[in-house]
Amino acid sequence: MRVKVLGSAAGGGFPQWNCACSNCSRLRDGQFAGVARTQLQLAWEGQPNHWTLLNASPDLRSQIEATPELWPQGANRHSPLSDVVLTGAEVDQALGLLLLREFHSFRVHATASIRRVLTEDNSLFGVLRRFPGQTCWQDIPLRSPFAVGGARLEVLPLAGSLPGFVSAARRSECDPGEAAIGLWITPAVAAVSPPPSVVSPPPGAASSPSRKTLAYLPGVGSISDSLLERLQDADVLLFDGTFWKDDEPSRIPGLGRTALEMGHLPISGPGGSIERLAGLARPRKIYIHINNTNPILDEESAEHQGVRDAGWEIARDGMEINL
């Protein structure tokens, strides 16, 4: 199963339109050892020419245009996109749904709380109900596996919260476990094994097809022992790389909160994600959702090198992962 990273940045992208931090300024001036990034967006091809979007970013239109696999085929209106899975109701995760309004039918998979916040509290989402069956919303079960677009999914519970724009009344009605979720993603159909080698496999060697698993965790405030144990079984880990240091966002004018207060475990420092996940031997570890202020974006920085030396990759737009 092919998974494509269409966008790898946190909200605002890199550079961010109103940001003149060192990273954004140097990138605009052509003095930065690194690349621009659009806001976090993934897609997978579970069956040939059938793609599922993982969330719907504000950059979705340009991300589709940058990905020929997602272009319409044939002479008339068409899209290989048939499903969208939402892991939260933040603008960064859901605004792109409105960009899919051009009379194309698709399914949206979200927890009941995310669905209600978006469809019952925001009249703008009426543009996705202009004809019967334009969007079909399906509730994600929190405690049992479910299938979407050729993949088997399972919720990884997170102690997240609903976006700040949600009313107190709505907030009081919602199950906190439905506010923001991580996902465990496995191809429903296992990849075909490579042809057998002329050399006989060692006795007892497995000959079953490979079926890799991907853990998607772009916003994690803390790593419980049970989550850490679960991640031992992942083949690919896409993890919250928003901030390098806990005090990084508190230095941004107007924000005034630490990374942990925003629900993002910083990469560095005691208890940071490098340290906390250092014992994971199996998964390929990749940071996603990288904020424009994060020094790891600068490929000549000590922080970038530190992340690479710790065995982590740093996602960039266009990256492809095969499961």
**Nearer Cβ to Zn ion (34/149):** 34
In the block, which residue shows the tokens 């390098």? Answer: 244
Tell me the closest approach of the beta carbon of residue 298 to Zn ion, in angstroms: 12
Residue 318 backbone class (left: φ over 0; alpha: ψ -120 to 50; beta: rest): left
Tell me the closest approach of the beta carbon of residue 99 to Zn ion, in angstroms: 24
**Interacting positions 1-30 with Zn ion (CB under 5 A):** 19, 21, 24
**Interacting positions 264-283 with Zn ion (CB under 5 A):** none
**Nearer Cβ to Zn ion (19/319):** 19
Stretch that binds Zn ion, among 37-45, 128-136, 247-255, 289-297 (CB under 5 A): 289-297
Q: Are 284 and 235 in contact (CB under 8 A)?
A: yes
Stretch that binds Zn ion, among 1-9, 129-137, 268-276, 291-299 (CB under 5 A): 291-299
The tokens describing 110, both together, are 């979200």
Tell me the closest approach of the beta carbon of residue 246 to Zn ion, in angstroms: 18
Tell me the closest approach of the beta carbon of residue 21 to Zn ion, in angstroms: 3
- How big is the site for Zn ion, counted in residues (CB under 5 A)? 4
Q: What is the DSSP string of 234-249?
A: -SEEEEE-S-SSTTTG
User: Closest by alpha carbon to 262, among 168, 254, 155, 287?
Assistant: 254
**Nearer Cβ to Zn ion (112/252):** 252
Tell me the closest approach of the beta carbon of residue 135 to Zn ion, in angstroms: 34
Q: Are 104 and 76 in contact (CB under 8 A)?
A: no
Span between the terminal Cα atoms of the chain, in Å: 5
**4 Cβ contact partners less than 8 Å away, ≥ 6 residues apart:** 42, 43, 44, 45, 67, 69, 318, 319, 320, 321
Binding residue (CB under 5 A) for Zn ion from 38, 268, 292, 294 = 292
**Nearer Cβ to Zn ion (113/292):** 292
**Nearer Cβ to Zn ion (24/54):** 24
The tokens describing 97, both together, are 């749904």
Distance from C-alpha of 97 to C-alpha of 56, rounded to nearest angstrom: 6
**Nearer Cβ to Zn ion (22/167):** 22
Tell me the closest approach of the beta carbon of residue 297 to Zn ion, in angstroms: 9
User: Closest by alpha carbon to 291, among 264, 260, 271?
Assistant: 264
Tell me the closest approach of the beta carbon of residue 257 to Zn ion, in angstroms: 17
Binding site for Zn ion (CB under 5 A): 19, 21, 24, 292
